[in-house]
Amino acid sequence: MARHRWNKIHDHRKRCTVCGLLADQRPHPYRRQWWTEWSRNGQYWNTLQGDKTPPCQPVDAVQGA
């Protein structure tokens, strides 16, 4: 499975240069920890609801073939 190639935007935000997945680290409202939210093409995932990092799906692979 393809790996994300992260391009750091700032300390708590990075974007995959392959699939365009955006990852944001956010401070937890109640606990002293960070949680992560991913977004891509209107889809969202986050660690608060137990999601794992979504797989890397290169745009070319979706549009091609």
Q: Which of 16, 23, 38, 40 binds Zn ion (CB under 5 A)?
A: 16
The answer to whether 23 contacts Zn ion (rule: CB under 5 A) is no
Strand extents, DSSP E, the chain:
6-10, 13-16, 22-27, 34-40, 43-46
As a whole number of angstroms, the distance between CA 22 and CA 54 comes to: 11
Among 14, 15, 19, 40, binds Zn ion (CB under 5 A): 19
Nearest to 34 by CA among 53, 16, 47: 47
Binding pattern to Zn ion, positions 24-63, x when CB under 5 A?
--------------------------------x-------
Q: Is 4 in the site for Zn ion (CB under 5 A)?
A: yes
